[in-house]
Amino acid sequence: MKKILLLAVLLAPLALAGCAHRTVVVYEPPPPPSEFSQVAQQAYHNGVVAARRDINAGLPPDVNRHPRFRRPPVEPPFIEDYRHGFRAGYQAVYRNGAPPAGY
């Protein structure tokens, strides 16, 4: 009887260790401001993606390192609008925090 009780006491921590639940963290970047044009909203999304890549790579924030910011993929009349949206999305990630690497 003592052996069974001793065995149960020794195995209890192992049985309970499997009961831990994983915590799932879902990171949603902040949405673009509603007053942004369609071009600026797409640029905002591109800026969020670029900032997340920089964070995962351990790089310091620098919007100028990104080719889409330096040479926006839009027609000349929309270049400043695109850069404004890209910069806003990029800065929103760094300002509001980002998930740890791997998320």
Query: Within a domain: residue 85?
Result: yes
Instruction: Give the structural domain span for 92.
Output: 2-96
Q: Rounded to an integer, what distance in angstroms lies between the CA atom of residue 36 and that of residue 80? A: 12
Query: Within a domain: residue 80?
Result: yes
Task: Report pLDDT for 44.
Answer: 95
Pick the range with the lowest mean pLDDT from 1-5, 24-28, 96-100. Answer: 96-100
The number of distinct structural domains making up the chain is 1
Longest dimension (CA), the chain: 85
Query: Within a domain: residue 102?
Result: no
Pick the range with the lowest mean pLDDT from 25-29, 35-39, 47-51, 60-64. Answer: 25-29
Query: Within a domain: residue 101?
Result: no
